[in-house]
Amino acid sequence: ALAPLSLAALALDADLAATLARWGVTTLGGLAALPREGLGARLGPAGLRAHDQALGRDREPFRAWTPPPFWEEAQELEWELDALDALAVVLARVLARLAARLEAAQLAAEALDVELALATGGRHARTVPLATPTCEVKPLLALLRLDLERHPPPAAVTRVVLGARTVRARAGQGGLWRPPAPAPRALGAVLARLAALVGGDNVGSPALLDSHRPDAHAMLAFAPPDEAGAEDEHRGQDGWRGRCSPPPAAVAAPPAGGSHDAWNAPARHGSPATPAADARTAGGADPARPRPAPDGEPEHRLVLRRARPPRRVEVETAGERPASVELGGGAERVVACAGPWRASGEWWDVGEWAREEWDVALAGGALCRLAWDRRTGAWCLDGTYD
């Protein structure tokens, strides 16, 4: 039935079609009647493929194509919704369908993409990251509600679309030497509630930056440590869990009299090393234990409690030294001070910084650390000594 059809139906190469036309072969029947061996000898593999097409033969093995999975569910609304409680009911139904598909494929969602069609014709799109991958409806719905409470749609909703960014689900196992941890889904809900209270930029894991700037850090998204890695990290050399924590940094108290020269740099950065202290350390004493003060040194030590972030204060100076400090309850006279300790960095970049630090004793008895920004001229309270 197909023999009278023109060779144009095969979409042959232009050179091959021209050669067959010179031979007087213009139909599928004429091409199929040619001897296969002679056709292959003269036209090569291209001629053999054309001959197979004319005969209706497919010599290639069957390769089934499966479309990529589409992890998205949608719901058209019969009426407009402008209340979050009513919208949450629809979200729960859509999430249940999506979670069932994920669970059947042994997948979990690491983020949810929400798209709400609005009655005004616009769209309200949100992406909700998850602290740990999950496919459970209840924690996912709680996170969606918290995000929509912080970022509500500007108009009534007419359609809901939920998509999941998936990862392979892994079964977790607790460690033998570690206390039971809260469920990952509970952790995600707690992080979302904290972000709703204090802002997303204030929740996460602090990471130190490669800078000498005091307290230079960045807030990264929190990710729970791997179970095996966390277990190895908390296990000691003898195989038992535990780790000694170093004592807080201590500084020597200023000598009685409070002169500017007597309260010098070692008072900030710790007591000077002594041969007796070195001998105790070399003799095998635990360096993490608090050591008794050397003879002649006061037993009382000061600990600096840092103010994060530093608190802006008003300071009057006499020359370059601070003379009085306004802490909110009135100006207090500075009776003793030590410094300045100057530091600067990143002068080659837009983040250039330069500051001077002073340790001051106030007339009311408070011992403080002040910092002066040499670029802006602003004073701040870096911390207080206990």
Model pTM above 0.75: no
Residue 262 neighbours by CB under 8 Å, 6+ apart:
254, 255
**Helices 84-104 & 137-150, crossing angle to 10 degrees?**
140
The two three-digit tokens of residue 10, written as one number: 């095969």
- In terms of DSSP bridges, do strands 251-252 and 157-168 run parallel, antiparallel, or are they unpaired? unpaired
**Nearest-angstrom CA–CA distance, 257 and 335:** 10
Task: Using the structure block, give the residue that is written with the tokens 């509600």.
Answer: 145
226 HSE (CA, 13 A, CB side): 5
Query: Can you give the chain as a three-state secondary structure string?
Result: CCCCCEHHHHCCCHHHHHHHHHCCCCEHHHHHCCCHHHHHHHHHHHHHHHHHHHHCCCCCCCCCCCCCCCCEEEEEEEEEECCHHHHHHHHHHHHHHHHHHHHHCCEEEEEEEEEEEECCCCEEEEEEEEEEEECCHHHHHHHHHHHHHHCCCCCCEEEEEEEEEEEECCCCCCCCCCCCCCCHHHHHHHHHHHHHHHCHHHCCEEEECCCCCCCCEEEECCCCCCHHHHHHHCECCCCCECCCCCCCCCEECCCCCCCCCCCCCHHHHCCCCCHHHHHHHHCCCCCCCCCCCCCCCCCCEECEEEEEEEEEEEEEEECCEEEEEECCCCEEEEEEEEEEEEEEECCCCCCCEEEEEEEEEECCCCEEEEEEECCCCCEEEEEEEC
Instruction: Count other C-beta atoms under 10 Å from residue 272's C-beta.
Output: 11
**Nearest-angstrom CA–CA distance, 317 and 339:** 13
The CA dihedral of 127, 132, 135, 137, to the nearest 10 degrees, is -70
**Nearest-angstrom CA–CA distance, 233 and 177:** 12
The amino acid at residue 151 is: H
**Nearest-angstrom CA–CA distance, 317 and 322:** 4
Per-residue pLDDT of the chain (386 residues; tens, 9 = 90+): 677 888 888 888 888 888 888 888 888 888 888 888 888 888 888 888 888 888 888 777 777 777 777 889 999 998 888 888 899 999 999 999 999 999 988 898 888 999 999 999 899 999 988 877 888 888 889 888 888 988 899 999 999 999 999 888 776 666 677 665 556 556 666 777 777 777 777 788 888 888 888 888 888 877 665 554 444 444 444 444 444 434 444 443 444 444 444 343 333 433 333 333 333 333 444 434 445 555 666 666 788 888 888 888 888 888 888 888 887 777 888 888 888 888 888 888 887 888 998 898 888 888 888 888 888 888 898 888 88
Give the dihedral sign, CA 172/174/176/177. Answer: positive
The two three-digit tokens of residue 343, written as one number: 């530091």
Q: Tell me, what's the pLDDT at 171? A: 65
| Distances from the Cα of 230 to the Cα of 177, 233, 240, angstroms | 11, 5, 13
**Nearest-angstrom CA–CA distance, 341 and 358:** 7
Q: Tell me, what's the pLDDT at 52? A: 84
Cα-based angle 371, 263, 359 (whole degrees, multiple of 5): 15
Q: Tell me, what's the pLDDT at 100? A: 92
**Nearest-angstrom CA–CA distance, 42 and 49:** 13
Please check whether residue 122 is in contact with residue 46, taking contact to mean a CB–CB distance below 8 angstroms. no
Q: Tell me, what's the pLDDT at 159? A: 93
Q: Tell me, what's the pLDDT at 304? A: 86
